[in-house]
Every structure is written in C-alpha cells, then in structure tokens.
Amino acid sequence: MTITQPDLSVFETLESEVRSYCRGWPTVFDHARGSRLYDEDGHEYLDFFAGAGSLNYGHNNPVLKRALLDYLERDGITHGLDMSTVAKRTFLQTFQDLVLRPRDLPYKVMFPGPTGTNAVETALKLARKVKGRESIVSFTNAFHGMSLGSLAVTGNAFKRAGAGIPLVHGTPMPFDHYLDGKVPDFLWFERLLQDQGSGLNKPAAVIVETVQGEGGINVARPEWLRALQQLCERQDMLLIVDDIQMGCGRTGAFFSFEEAGIVPDIVTVSKSISGYGLPMSLCLFKPELDVWEPGEHNGTFRGNNPAFVTATAALEAYWTDGAAMEKQTRTRGEQVEQWLISITEENLADVKEYRGRGLVWGLEFHDTSRAGRIARRAFDLGLLVETSGPQSEVVKLLPALTTTPEELDEGMRVLARAVRETA
C-alpha cells in the first residue's frame, strides 16, 4: 500500500499531546462502512479494533443508521436529561423484553452518564452507599476507566500516575492465573478478610472484568468467577461486573458473565450498548440496591435519545434471537483461534501465548516490544489492530461481531504476515 504523507499539522500544533491512537495510525480517516475504514486519500483499512469495542455491529450499520436518520428527520428529542421520552421508553421496554427477561435478570436500569467510567463511578458510589463502607477490592491488571474513582480500582501504573493525587480506598487482589495456579484461588483474599490484624478494611464491593481487555486479554475461568461470587456472599460484599468492553455479545452471550452462571449485584455496560458508537452507558443493579434519593446522582448527558434509538434498533436486529447471534460469534471466534494456532506453530519460539473468548483475542510474545512493531506493520498493510497489557506486550484483536468470515481470514492473513515481517 502506498500512503502519501497526510496533513497532520493542525492535530500536531493545536491538539493536546495526550492523543494516542492517532500516533499508531498516522493518517486522516474520512469515512467507514462495516468493518472497513477509508482515509481521505481513499486507502482502505480492515478494522480489527472496532472503536475499542464500541462498534460491535460495525461502522455505519445500515439498519441502525436508518433508525437514527428517521428519528432525526422527525425532530425526535435529542437531549433529554432524565426526562421521560418516547425513545427512552422504547429502549427500556425492548431491553427488558430481549435482554433481561429471557435471562431472568431482575435488574433496575440507571442511566449514569455517557461513558463507561460514568457507569463505574456510579457502581462504586452505590456500593459504598448501600454497605456504608469505603473500601473496594479490584484485581491485578484491571482497567475500569480514567476518572479518579475508576483509576483507584485500575491496575496500570502509567494510567494511575496520571491522577496526580493519591488513589485511595481500593485494594488489588490477584486475578485468575496471576499466581500461575501455585496458590489456591482467593486464599490470600479470604485470609485477609478473616484476620482482624490484616489491615484490610472490610470492602463494600469487589469489581471484576470477566476478560481483562486493556490488561492483556486475561480470561477468568467460569469456576473462578463462581468462587468469587460465593466469597462475596459469605463476606457480605457486593459483586460488580464491569462488562463495558466485554458485554453486548463480545464474548458470545449478551453478558460476558452468563457462561459462569452468576448473577452479579451490579453490572456496568457501555461501549456497544448504543450499537452505533454514540455515547451511552448503563448501571444495572438488583432492585433492593436502588436506594438513591431523586437527583442524588445526575448528569447533563444521561439522556442521549439518539443513542436510545440505535440501541433499540441493535437489540431488535441482533438479539431477538440471541442464540443465533451467540452461535455466530462463537463460530467466528473459533475461526480466529485456528489462525492464532497456526501463527503460534509458525513462530513457536517467539509466541508466548494466545488467549481469548468469542471475538476478543490476544497474542502475546516473549519480546514485549514485538506487539507494537506488529501493530505498526499491520497498519502499513491495511489492518488496524491495537496492543494491550501493562507493557503493551499483547496484540489485541477486537473485530466487529458482524465481520464476515472472509474478512476475518483476510485480516488474519495480514496479521500472520506482520508477525513474520517483524521477526
């Protein structure tokens, strides 16, 4: 692919140095459709990033776009705070009928703000309010957002350092596999809880990702998650599952915790809940936890009605028959896994491990700088992939759930080539 030098001057002179994704993908994107983006010079890129998981149904999905355009053309409410609107009512009813009831989930729905970290902050605040305690337990290599409360339960040292103040009231515990199976699950955690001399304040809640996306695609076993829920029940702690990146079908089922057969007390959802990349998040919790006073937690942009419209359209298009969607995601995930097996066998001395579930996968190398080189070479070859892990040592694959089998093969061929050419 021949790439002319794009005009990046305004970004480099006016936009903050904090920008990051654009540094790995130094072009100016213009339009997108499905699993493909196009820059202003017409170069095509296959997208295995999907807006960090906010575009599970692809770019400009035609079904969702039609619903959005129809709504805007009739002057539907755009900004609604927490007012009752037709769009919100339709979404809530559809979410109840297609997601909550079929799974026998009793949750109340709260709209905490537009982003994932809004949902996490809400979950932490609610847990503390319900239990009357401040401490929250999180896990090694967790990522829960960039605002202060979310950073306090995030593991990444680089991101935590950006807070500028002490991040308190959070205690990390080992995630599944962190101690390589040498210590029984939760032995250390439960010992601290039982020992009056441990120095651990009684936690209000435990927050966990079933698959740590930013942490390196670390996959928790179903039995580990079940044991965690049982521990929370024994010790009078709430269980919060952060399903912001792994929910909305990313791992197969609509919620990533379904496979484990658990029912968390609180669930955070964002990214692909709107279906179209529009800002929207949910905090779901059991009815007995709904102890909020009116207005006790609010925000100007909770009522993004266009997002309610596209979210409803996504649920109706893809989750009316959730079993079919789940089967498709698992099948396409198996296709990706076969490619990763092949890449591992071809580069046996270099690949440390591949891991994942559904359509989220990671490829880790012994050389921690290798993943970054592979991502850069993949971009040159027309494939967008990112890295994750505490040292950006894992190539992260996050294609849209609507990516076709042919597109998956195409992208994996490019990835295999990028791996070979960065050896």
Is residue 169 left, alpha or beta, with left meaning phi > 0 and alpha meaning psi from -120 to 50? left
Per-residue model confidence as pLDDT tens digits over 240-273: 999 999 999 999 999 999 999 999 999 999 999 9
Parallel/antiparallel/unpaired status of strands 36-39 and 29-33: antiparallel
Q: What is the pLDDT of residue 5?
A: 80
**Arithmetic mean of pLDDT, 387-403:** 97
Structure tokens at 6: 């794009």
**Arithmetic mean of pLDDT, 61-82:** 97
Share of the chain above pLDDT 90, in %: 98
Cβ–Cβ under 8 Å, residues 369 and 350: no
Cβ–Cβ under 8 Å, residues 242 and 212: no
Per-residue model confidence as pLDDT tens digits over 325-349: 999 999 999 999 999 999 999 999 9
**Arithmetic mean of pLDDT, 206-223:** 98
CA angle, corner 197, sides to 194 and 203, nearest 5? 55
Confidence of residue 4 (pLDDT cuts 50, 70, 90): low
Across the chain, mean pLDDT equals 96
Q: What is the pLDDT of residue 135?
A: 97
Cβ–Cβ under 8 Å, residues 314 and 98: no
Confidence of residue 50 (pLDDT cuts 50, 70, 90): very high
Full-model pTM = 0.97
Cβ–Cβ under 8 Å, residues 35 and 399: yes
Confidence of residue 322 (pLDDT cuts 50, 70, 90): confident
Cβ–Cβ under 8 Å, residues 249 and 223: no
Q: What is the pLDDT of residue 423?
A: 87
